Amino acid sequence: MVVSLLLMVLSGSCIYFHSRSPQFSGAAPQAMDVEIPFSSTNTYRSTITNREACQAIFKEFHQAHSVFFVHKSAARFTFRFANGKVDTAQVTLGTLHGYSYFFLRRQFQMDTDHLYQALKEAGVDVSKICN
């Protein structure tokens, strides 16, 4: 009985942790800055001001869910909101099992293909991303 109760509590805790989504400082970014290092000396930088493009990328970040492990972050996405607040996500871009990871107060996982598509549509040169 005690073992089954412990298993239920552990399972519930894991489900709760995994279902948590990132908490941003605003509902929709006005603009965002993207910085992606593609060599030891060069970094790709882009500022996206198109609201629909920002919203599409933000949607991918917002749909992410918590994960337990931490990946080394290389890229930086800075979201600028109408309320003047700014959130910066440290991002590991790549195709590790089809996911990219980012840190925003805790570690999250999101679908790499969906993120890359949103970035392409926003005009970001995803060929600069090292996998």
Query: Could you tell me the pLDDT band of residue 17, with boundaries at 50, 70 and 90?
Result: very low
- The better pLDDT of the pair 36, 89 is held by 89
Mean pLDDT of 9-14: 54
Domains contained in the chain, CATH given: 2-128 (2.60.40)
- 89: Cβ–Cβ under 8 A, 6 or more apart, which residues? 22, 61, 76, 77, 78, 79, 102, 103, 104
Tens digit of each residue's pLDDT (9 = 90 or more) over 77-128:
999 999 999 999 988 876 667 888 888 888 888 888 898 899 899 988 877 7
Lowest-confidence region among 14-18, 34-38, 127-131: 14-18
Query: Could you tell me the pLDDT band of residue 52, with boundaries at 50, 70 and 90?
Result: very high
Query: Could you tell me the pLDDT band of residue 31, with boundaries at 50, 70 and 90?
Result: very high
| Average pLDDT of every residue of the chain | 79
